[in-house]
Amino acid sequence: MVSLATEKKQDLNLLSRIASGDGHGENSSYFEGWKAYEENPFHPIDRPDGVIQMGLAENQLCGDLMRKWVIEHPEASICTEQGVNQFSDIAIFQDYHGLPEFRQAVAKFMEKTRNNRVKFDPDRIVMSGGATGAHETVAFCLANPGDGFLVPTPYYPGFDRDLRWRTGVNLVPVTCHSSDGFKITVEALEDAYEKALLSNIPVKGLLMTNPSNPLGTTLDRECLKSLVNFTNEKRIHLIADEIYAATTFGQSEFISVAEVIEEIEDCNRDLIHIVYSLSKDMGLPGFRVGIIYSYNDRVVQIARKMSSFGLVSSQTQRLIAKMLSDEDFVDEFIRESKLRLAARHKELTTGLDGLGIGWLKAEAGLFLWMDLRNLLKTATFDSETELWRVIVHQVKLNVSPGGSFHCHEPGWFRVCFANMDHKTMETALERIRVFTSQLEEETKPVAAAPMMAKKKKKCWQSNLRLSFSDKRRFDDGFFSPHSPVPPSPLVRAQT
């Protein structure tokens, strides 16, 4: 009798290597946290003890503005009485160039999110099914299986799927350090480049994310110039992921690679490519609007042909074209989004500061890079994973561990803050408070002799059981951005 394991192996043998392999990366702790949330999602009434999703980089803070515009512009949809007269024209086959009005509106929006300092040619706009599809298409255009792209760390875990799974391309980490804010240096690039060549990996390009996911930092002009010069000198491609372009706030400034190449003499623009989408800046990930903008004519031609595998629906194109052509709405949306992101970022960081929890100073993106290195039992990724499991399964917060972002220093975690309402954020901060308060209780000095005291080693228990029943919660102003935060609040926690 054939065993179940043997049957499973035989079934896999019937499939391709891609289908039977694990290249999608779902075994990563990044995706494991999502599964924990999906099995027990937080709801303030139905599941108050559920897992709060802080691993999803989504901008849900301006959904009210989006809904208001849709209600006021029913003609933008072909599925309304006001727009149905265009149904037949939009519902029929559309070629992979995309609607002209869509490409023009996206090009104009890209200019606006870069403070109108650069111009984008609508004829170079190639659409794709989200940034995921755009990245894979670019990889197919630029590299062969076995070739490599340099990627500064830490970087978005989805890149392992987007650029590697079906293309066979390698991602070569460029190690960046917390001691200088994880800045990308030419020395680090050179080191990674040489190591790739020694490993017989032909380097075809450098992929950088600006603003950074997961750091929330932006690259300054000099750094961007150094990246352009480095790739030009090596004759390799530079792919700039700029999907968070309009998420800067405070004193942060976003500078596009499109602006920098205007300032570099004899820049080989055939090596410059931008990936963009409306998922983050407009909060429309479900619309799957991804954009490839390349300065290389051949890449534009081939990417456009490949886009037939993941087009944006013509109905979506029409709606987006109408929305982005409303300049008053776009101006208001971008302005209000920045204000709300800044307020939410302040709410979270005020709470963390009050608990003595560090975070990387940055003012962009939909997340922050939280520093819990002092809570690790040992400075190892095993200890990071153990702490992360406590946070996910006991504290019930799905934050993403730095190891899943290929950070080489254990103890960092990405925390998303724009995908929830104010009350949920308050609940999340309360849970962090309870967790850290228990740690404080456990590390209080213990009398060892009349004239001396011994302090316990600060650590947490893997079988931690927390109580979130403190009725004070935030009703009395705790963690309010308008009131001071107690430096070391104490609440009762059960172990």
Catalytic residue list: 156, 241, 243, 280
With beta carbons less than 8 A apart as the criterion, state whether 308 and 96 touch. yes
Q: Which of 220, 129, 132, 235 is nearest to 183 (CA)?
A: 220
Q: Which of 209, 197, 102 is nearest to 156 (CA)?
A: 209
With beta carbons less than 8 A apart as the criterion, state whether 278 and 287 touch. yes
Task: Quote the tokens at residue 48.
Answer: 């108050």
Question: What one-letter code names the amino acid at 156?
Answer: Y
What Å distances lie between residue 31 and 27, 55, 365, 418, CA to CA?
7, 9, 20, 19
What Å distances lie between residue 125 and 142, 143, 276, 296, 328, CA to CA?
17, 21, 10, 12, 23
